């Protein structure tokens, strides 16, 4: 697990991640399963349903893209904090939430898998 203290919108914030960048697609790029023709009626596909994520999924935050796995100093950059679905934010000093494998969660609460 990676952990980094940052300033987020002027406030101290802790960021944690499972460091599995090979499965990080980004919230706007991760493939979805649609339950109906309604564009909001979906859930994201699980890690097991997907292969490796692309090195550049095509999404950026402040001109910063997904970090390269061979450059650990780039980990937990702007893309990770704002786009990566594997990253969690929490107030420094709070107990860390256990990071779990990605699981599908319907976008619309009425849906059940």
* Model confidence pLDDT, tens digit, residues 7-28: 888 889 888 888 888 999 998 8
* CB-CB contact of 85 with 24 (8 Å): yes
Q: What is the pLDDT of residues 19-75, one digit of tens each?
A: 888 999 998 899 998 888 888 888 888 888 899 999 999 998 888 899 887 776 778
Closest CA to 107 of 24, 35, 29: 35
Q: How far is CA 36 from CA 28, 33, 85, 103, 105, in A?
A: 19, 9, 23, 20, 15
The domain spans of the chain are 2-90
Reading the block at residue 63, the tokens are: 């001109």
């Amino acid at each position: 697990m990676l952990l980094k203290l940052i300033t987020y919108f002027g406030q101290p914030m802790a960021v944690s991640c499972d460091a599995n960048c090979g499965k990080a697609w980004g919230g706007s790029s991760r493939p979805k399963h649609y339950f109906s023709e309604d564009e909001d009626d979906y859930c994201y596909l699980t890690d097991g349903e997907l292969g490796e994520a692309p090195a550049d999924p095509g999404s950026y935050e402040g001109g910063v893209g997904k970090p390269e796995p061979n450059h650990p100093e780039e980990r937990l950059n702007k893309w990770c904090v704002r786009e990566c679905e594997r990253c969690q934010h929490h107030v420094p000093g709070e107990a860390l939430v256990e990071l779990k494998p990605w699981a599908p969660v319907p976008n619309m609460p009425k849906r059940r898998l």
